[in-house]
Copies of this chain bind each other. A is one copy, B any other.
Amino acid sequence: MNHVYRLVISCPDQVGIVAKVAEYIAGQGGSIVEANHHTDSGNGWFFMRHEILASSLSASLEEFEKGFQALAEEFEMEWYISDSQKPKKIALFASKESHCLADLLHRWHENELPGEVVCVIANHDDLRSMVEWYKVPFHHIPVTPDTKPQAFAQAEAVASQYDTEVIVLARYMQILPPKMCSDYAGQVINIHHSFLPSFVGAKPYHQASERGVKLIGATCHYVTEDLDEGPIIEQDVIRVNHSKTIDDLKRLGRDVEKTVLARGLRYHLEDRVLIHGNKTVVFDS
């Protein structure tokens, strides 16, 4: 994989942004590997992502950033540059179910995940041995109705001790407290076991079975204080029929869940997801 810098921008739309940004990049010798733009004509907002070959820049990343600052101010940009050689640090939150956790750990172990798994935090101890085989620190932090505030304070402390940049709720089954939602706004990714907005709330496979739907799905979304209402990153479905029991739905659903979570997380790790209000722009080249 190429060593690239990812320049991610959003700002009010106006004529000339693309030219100015491209001109600046070219002026630094930057070779553009991938570029995406999007204008939301509804709200006049502009989104842009560039992958620039690191080796092509004539100056350092710091100088590049410093030089870009003037442009950014002129166009009132929200922006950042990330370095593909500094993969984001990921804390995986789990409970008892292993399918999403095992899938992500395996992808990371095989160098397929463009991020670094720094720890697993779980409210049950069941998955310790599996996690430790991957030589990932495992923290068992039980959550009970009484200890919930302390438990989450502890979880957040552990996460920050690893400089966590992304929290993935890999079937964690606990509702995060508002403080954590806001401390890690846009950085907590959940997998919901339904095709949102269908079947919000508990036991979506039971709900799906009762309604007699012909497809079941999963949704990867950012966590916000409004449960099941955060910006959607990725979704997918699988066909079912009358012959499937709840257990079949759960089994089939697990495959969709882990695939959708892995895809959504990948987009996030590669800085392909730009959040705006309650919607996302996902630049999947």
A interface residue numbers (CB < 8 A to B):
1, 15-16, 18-20, 22-23, 25-27, 29-41, 56, 98-99, 102, 106, 110, 112, 129-130, 133, 195-199, 210-215, 217, 231-237, 241-243, 245, 247, 251, 254-255, 259, 262, 278-282, 284-285
Contacts and interface: CB of A to CB of B under 8 A. Distances in A.
9 contacts: A15-B31, A20-B26, A35-B37, A38-B242, A98-B110, A102-B106, A197-B211, A197-B213, A241-B282
Nearest to A274: B242
Given A22-B19, A23-B19, A215 B195 contact: yes
Chain A facing B: main interface SS: mixed
Contacts of A40: 242
B215 A196 contact: no
Nearest to A233: B214
Given A19-B19, A40-B242, A197-B213, 16 more contacts: A18-B25, A34-B243, A35-B35, A36-B36, A112-B254, A197-B198, A212-B232, A212-B278, A213-B232, A213-B235, A214-B235, A214-B282, A215-B237, A242-B279, A243-B285, A259-B259
Contact of A19 (B26, B34, B255): B26
Nearest to A255: B259
Contacts of A29: 15
Contacts of A197: 198-199, 211, 213
Contacts of A56: 15
Contacts of A262: 255
Contacts of A280: 212, 242
Contacts of A284: 241
Contacts of A247: 1
A273 to B, nearest CB: 10
A104 to B, nearest CB: 12
B112 A251 contact: yes
> Could you say which of A197, A212, A278 has the most chain B C-beta atoms within 10 Å of its C-beta?
A212
A251 B1 CA distance: 13
